[in-house]
Amino acid sequence: MSTYPKIILGIDPGYGRCGFGIIKGGGADFFCITHGVMTTKVGSEHKDRLLEIAEDFESIIDKYQPSILVIEELFFSKSTTTALKVAEVRGVIMMLAARSGLDVIEVKPNEVKMAVTGYGKADKIQMQEMIKTIFGFEEVPKPDDAADALAIAWTGAGMLKY
């Protein structure tokens, strides 16, 4: 892995909205560079949505030059169809990360909750308030996917060896 300071890109995968958060620093000292969502056009064919995400992801890599990607593992919900589409998004992102030479860290949803709040079953509001505190924001980052991506990046940063 690269040396200090590190630029870490956290991804909360989704095919309608894919959250991203970019943090920089080392040890316990990280700050937020930016956060947001990559969105795709509702009603578009899935292949076109994957292409939109791929292009947006490549733009983020080009602009911010992260060395590490932290991505949330898939959490199977009630809808198998949704889970499969999100898995395809993860595949596209992980392939592009590998092609760009990024180190990849995969984290489970409960690991993110534990790292950010100290409680593996924290709710969304608890998570958002802690992200607000960790990064010194005046408001909770919006939309939720962006806040989740920052939490994912923060979790990955805590797993790094210096």
Binding site per annotation, positions for Mg(2+): 12, 72, 145
Rounded distance between C-alpha atoms, residue 99 and residue 54, angstroms: 12
Tokens matching residue 136: 């010194």
Beta-bridge mates of residue 11: 20, 71
Catalytic: which of 12, 45, 106, 148? 12
The kind and range of the H/E element at 11 are strand 6-12
Tokens matching residue 29: 């000292």
Catalytic: which of 45, 56, 72, 148? 72
Binding annotation: 12, 72, 145
CB-CB contact of 56 with 38 (8 Å) = yes
Catalytic: which of 29, 111, 139, 145? 145
The kind and range of the H/E element at 115 are helix 109-117
Helices (H) and strands (E) in the chain, counts: 5, 5
Q: Is 72 marked active-site?
A: yes
Active site residues: 12, 72, 145
